[in-house]
Structures are given as C-alpha cells and as structure tokens.
Amino acid sequence: MPQNAATIYDVAKKAQVSPATVSRVLNEPSKVNAVKRDTVLAAIASLHFIPKAAAVANARQSYKKIGVIAPFFTQPSFMQRLRGISSVLSGHHYEIVVYSIESQEEMLEYIDMLSGSRRVDGLIVLCLEPTDTMLSKLRESEIPVCFVESNKEGFDSVSIDNEAGGKCAAEFLFNRGYRKPGFVGESSNKTYAVPATEERLKGFTKYFAKHGISVLPNHTWLGELTDQKVDEGISGLLSQEDLPDCILASSDLIAIRVMKLAKIKGIRVPEDIAVVGFDNLDFTEYLNLTTVSQELDESGRTAAELILERQRDPGRTARKVHIQLRVIERATTGTKAGSTI
C-alpha cells in the first residue's frame, strides 16, 4: 500500500465523525442515519480510502467472495436459483455472501456498503429494481454485477420475461379447450422488487383477451403472501357457484394450496378445474403439477458464469442472456371434451 494512503482516521476527520462511525458505515450501514452515512461515503470516495481487508484482498487480487442480493431469500425459488449459482462458483472456490433485502432503504444501504468497501469480487442482483442512484453507485464501483429478472443498461443480465410466461400458460390452456380462466397470486406491493405476479397476470389476460375471453374479477385473486391470506383468497374464489375451469397460480407454492383447498371442497383437479403453477420447483415433479418452468438452476448458473467472465474481461460489452420459458405438462391439466391440440 502506498505510504500516503488514506486511513480510517483521515476519513473520520474529513467527514467530521468518529472512526467508530466510519467503521459502522462500512460494516453495519443500517445503524447509521442516512445523512451521516452519505457524508462518510463521500469522504471515502474523495480520499480513495481502501479498508484494510480490502487492501489485503487487492494485493492478492481477489476476496474469493461473490455477493447475492435479493428479496424473499427463504422462498424455494430463491434457494433453487442459488443452487445454480453455487454449482458454478464452488468449483472456483468462491464463497457466496447473501444479502437479504426487505426495503428500498436497505437495498441502498447494502449497495453503499458494497460499492464503498469493495468487499466482494462480484454481485448478483436477483429480482430487484434498483433506482438510478443505486445503478450509478454500482457503475462507479466497477464491481462486476449481473442482474437476474431485470435488464439494466450497461450491466450483464439474465432476463426472464414474466409476461411471456403468463402468455405461455394461457396459450397452453386455451389450446386444450379451457375457456373460463382464473388467476391467483401474491401482490407485488414492494416497489424495490420486480412485479413478477402482475406481469404474469398481464400476459395471461392479454392472450385470452385476444380470443375474446375475459379473466373475470371474481375469478382473480391477488393478495398478501401469508398462509392465512392466501388460503382465504383461494377459498373464497373456490366457494363460488361460478367457478373458472382453469387457474394459473403465480407460483408453484400457491398452486399447491389451490390443489389442497380444491380437494377439501370436493373440486376435482383437473376434471373440474385445471391448475398450472409457475417456477417448476423440484417437488412439482413428485406432485405431478403442470407448471411454467423458468429454469431456475440454469438462470443461476448463467449469472455466475457472467460474473466470472466479467472478472476475466472487465472491458467487454454487457451480455444479455434470455431464458426461454416453457410449460411442463403433468397431471393437473387435461384436455377439455371436444377440443383438439
């Protein structure tokens, strides 16, 4: 390290805070108020301060750590995608550091921390919608970044077209004679996350509308993703005399709840109602659930490979990889009488 390299004390002096505050900004940014945090980060950038751990890592050219930043990290779809990421990175002896996001403020804190301290060798951003300010910070940090489920100019990405996924499911059901479509899913009420449910519903609705068929309000439920709220919403939909003849669920987990509640109410799947999930989680094969596959493992593997490529060639043009969605047909759908495929 150069003799005149800035120290934590230089940063503290310039930002007019204590060294302990600088340390908290680097290690626990959520414990520092936003104004003070921004002042410290500005001082770090101005002085080109490199924390001691980062300086050691720079000397050896790598931390051997890749960050994964995502909402809903306990969801099975996240874990399956993470498995794909791990299958690539473990072979290169990288650790994976997971940053779970529950608010836009928290996402900004993590991006500030990672761009300011440079404590990971790359960052995979799953299903999040950063602001322009956050994107600028990531560009300035020069950390290799790959977005999954969203495209950002100048960054590598693995794109999933959720609207096309809804259309794919609708086309599959329409071609098998279903004409009274229904939809159930969790509301995407978090501004910092990709609105996957609404995009899937949009594609589903547009396809049927093209054929003169409406997805009726009483055949649609969007609500809070808790066991109680989901069960209440589905139960209400299935308690009507006028039932849909098919339902697309925004996820496999919700599709399974539809199947469970239909059985309780004596509604047969697929004879009375066909059910299609979304994700193609591992367990869907054992439950014989028809579902839209978004190739979770493959998208994770691809994101990790793009990060490693970017490390080898930082100046290359950003790559955008599109994952093709497809319906995996199983036993929860059939063919309506009189229809032809």
Which pLDDT tens digit goes with each residue over 212-265? Answer: 999 999 999 999 888 899 999 999 999 999 999 999 999 999 999 999 999 999
Q: Kindly state which CATH superfamily the domain 64-160+296-323 is placed in.
A: Response regulator (3.40.50.2300)
Q: In angstroms, rounded to a whole number, what is the distance separating the alpha carbons of residues 275 and 234?
A: 12
Res 2 pLDDT > 60? no
Sheet holding 181-186, edge to edge: 220-223, 181-186, 246-249, 274-279, 290-293, 326-328
Cβ atoms of 128 and 193 within 8 Å: the answer is yes
Res 329 pLDDT > 70? yes
pLDDT band at 61 (very low <50, low <70, confident <90, very high): low
Mean pLDDT over 55-68 rounds to 66
Res 32 pLDDT > 70? yes
Res 54 pLDDT > 90? no
Q: What is the pLDDT of residue 189?
A: 79
What is the number of helices (H) and of strands (E) in the chain? 13, 12
Look up tokens 């908290």; give the residue.
Answer: 24
Mean pLDDT over 10-17 rounds to 86
Name the residue ranges covered by the structural domains of the chain: 8-59, 64-160+296-323, 162-295
Which pLDDT tens digit goes with each residue over 278-328? Answer: 999 999 999 999 999 999 999 999 999 999 999 999 999 999 999 999 999
- For residue 249, is it left (φ>0), alpha (ψ between -120 and 50) or beta? beta
What is this structure's pTM?
A: 0.82
Cβ atoms of 49 and 15 within 8 Å: the answer is no
8-59 belongs to CATH 3.40.190.80:
no
Q: In angstroms, rounded to a whole number, what is the distance separating the alpha carbons of residues 52 and 49?
A: 9
Which stretch of 67-81, 122-136, 189-203 has the lowest confidence by average pLDDT?
67-81
Q: What is the pLDDT of residue 194?
A: 92
Question: Cβ neighbours of residue 76 under 8 Å, at least 6 residues apart?
Answer: 252, 253, 279, 281, 282, 283
Alpha-carbon distance values, 15 to 26, 62, 134, 217 (Å) = 14, 29, 21, 55
Q: Kindly state which CATH superfamily the domain 162-295 is placed in.
A: Response regulator (3.40.50.2300)
**Average pLDDT over the chain, rounded to whole?**
90
Which pLDDT tens digit goes with each residue over 132-189? Answer: 999 999 998 889 999 999 899 999 999 999 999 999 999 999 999 999 999 999 998 7
pLDDT band at 4 (very low <50, low <70, confident <90, very high): low
Q: In angstroms, rounded to a whole number, what is the distance separating the alpha carbons of residues 87 and 5?
A: 38
- DSSP letters, 124-187, are EEESB---HHHHHHHHHHT--EEEESS--TTSEEEE--HHHHHHHHHHHHHHTT--SEEEEEE-
Is-same-fold flag (8-59; 64-160+296-323)? no
